[in-house]
A and B are shown apart, each in its own frame.
Chain A
Amino acid sequence: MNILVCLSHVPDTTTKVKFVDGKELNKTGVQWIINPWDELALTRALELKEGSGRKIKKVTVVNVGPKTTEPTIRKALAIGADNAIRINKEPLDAFSVANEILEVINKGDYQLIFTGIESSDYNSNSVGGILADLVGINSVSAVSGVDFENDSFKIKREIDGGYELVNVVLPAVLTVQKGIAINPRIPAMRGIMMAKRKPLQVVEPCNVEPLLEYVGYEMPKAKAACKYVETANELIDLLHNEAKVI
């Protein structure tokens, strides 16, 4: 049994984003990280493997990106992934990215595929579901926990007002959110050394056409300055009579 974790390479969450002519992200000075949910997914995948009594053999990570994403991929190897695949292409939209990963799944042997519920750059919560449909397998969304019991996976998914525990026919794609793990694993020195020797395979893309085109970017309108008040009474009065929100 093997697990595939899809990684998105995104700007650090504290990045003050800027754009070149309102057309593309200005990458100057940007620090890059593993998308936070993907990092949690990887953390849980490794825990599952370690707790499986060797039934889960391998945790592979895959990224669709140019060579500049390799430090992010190496970090995933340092955290503990066994091997990595990079599909050599600038990601353009969720549909084309999922089509690239489809090839990796068709050629591999993965029972569980993890994607983050969204990536913190384009926030499109799409890749996991599109991928599952292209492969023709099940998907479970809003997954906040997964356990390996009696050779099958027990999956916890969020529903309105609570959660469900479900089983799903494998292979399946799980799109995961917080709760799958609470904190990501930090690479240890030994992991960083070993990561250099772990296989990072580069494959050429199949170049499926995207369905979306990101044509430009705008910054949100500046908001009015904060109005300071001294007392609770004054605040409630303003919320009632001025903002009319209570």
Chain B
Amino acid sequence: MILIYTENWDGKFKKLTYELVSYGSELAKQLNTNVVALSIGMVEDAELKTLGKYGASKVISINNDKLNTFDTQTYSTIISQIAERESANTIIIANNNIGKAISPRLSAKLKAGLVSGVENLPTSIAPFTVQKKVFTGKAYANIVIKSDIKILTLFQNSFGIIEADKDIEIENYNPADINLGTTVLETHKAGGKLLLGDAEIVVSGGRGMKTAENWKPIEELAELLGAGTACSRPVSDEGWRPHDEHVGQTGKIIAPNLYFAFGISGAIQHLGGVSSSKCIVAVNTDKDAPIFEAANYGLIGDARTILPEMIAAITKLKNS
């Protein structure tokens, strides 16, 4: 059985959730088994049932107020209990903040080999071999998981969604005593902002933008495209943009369908965070900037004059 941990955001699932279930269902075909989802939090039955559309045959739903606090020990204990009860042989989790926090603890509890950030199905089932990027995107490693139970975290936006209509059964489950080791003192959340990892288009700026004020057209372009905004490391170090927009080796690693790099030189550490993007567009005054080696489309010129022209061109396209 393949167990999928399906996180929710205010009671709703996201494309990422369906991507995990799709991945699980495709893997289940190879392993000749079924897919069970595990949901923790207040999620309506109608929403839980949507997991069936991507191939889950059962969802175990846990709803307990104490679990509104994310405590890594508690969450991983519950998931491992379910994994054992259901005799899961593979566990699939998102490679995001929550997934990164629980997957290693599960690995220790279940003595299960963990490979994080996979993008594709295993290349072989026996031995169970998966591929993942290593050296921050510079190479792929082929890794054999030798333990009976395997844990994979899936890199967001790498696999896609596959529909597979299944009848899905809902089971409510109540975990035994919950002892939280974490106390949340304050929560700060900017409402409504598109998360970088979820964004299918990302508009990013580097030091070539010169000042924080010059981000206005970047934000305008992002809004027009329904895109997220990002930046290179020096830009966040300077405080022109918040740290959570920093992409690259030491920041976020993203794989949108389209990545715009305005005034970014394309240092190897920057590319480590964006090279999995399906299409990269670079705008830079320096024709020799390394970003052009990574780009699919390039425009040599001043980002500050080209941005308004692009905004105008897209507005025209939208109106036509």
Contacts and interface: CB of A to CB of B under 8 A. Distances in A.
Contacts of B183: 166-168
- Interface secondary structure of B, over-half rule: mixed
Contacts of A126: 103-104, 107, 114, 116
Contacts of A27: none
A204 interface: no
Contacts of A243: 258, 279, 296-297
A228 B135 CA distance: 29
B101 A139 contact: yes
A169 B181 contact: yes
Interface in B122-149: 129, 131-147
Contacts of B269: 13-14
A64 interface: no
Interface residues of B, number: 90
A128 interface: yes
Given A215-B129, A227-B297, A94 B141 contact: no
Nearest to A241: B317
A20 interface: no
Nearest to B142: A216
**Which of A131, A168, A183 counts the most chain B CB atoms within 10 A?**
A168
Nearest to B97: A142
A138 B73 CA distance: 6
A179 interface: yes
Interface string A90-113: 000111001000000000000000
Size class of A's contact patch? 35 or more
A161 B299 contact: no
Interface in B66-95: 70-73, 76
A139 B142 contact: no
B134 A122 contact: yes
B12 interface: no
Interface in B187-218: 187-191, 193, 195, 201
Interface stretch (A43-51, A73-81, A187-195, A218-226): A218-226
A56 to B, nearest CB: 21
Interface in A198-246: 210-220, 223-224, 226-233, 235-240, 243, 245-246
Given A160-B96, A235-B299, 8 more contacts: A17-B138, A95-B107, A130-B105, A138-B73, A166-B183, A175-B101, A218-B142, A240-B317
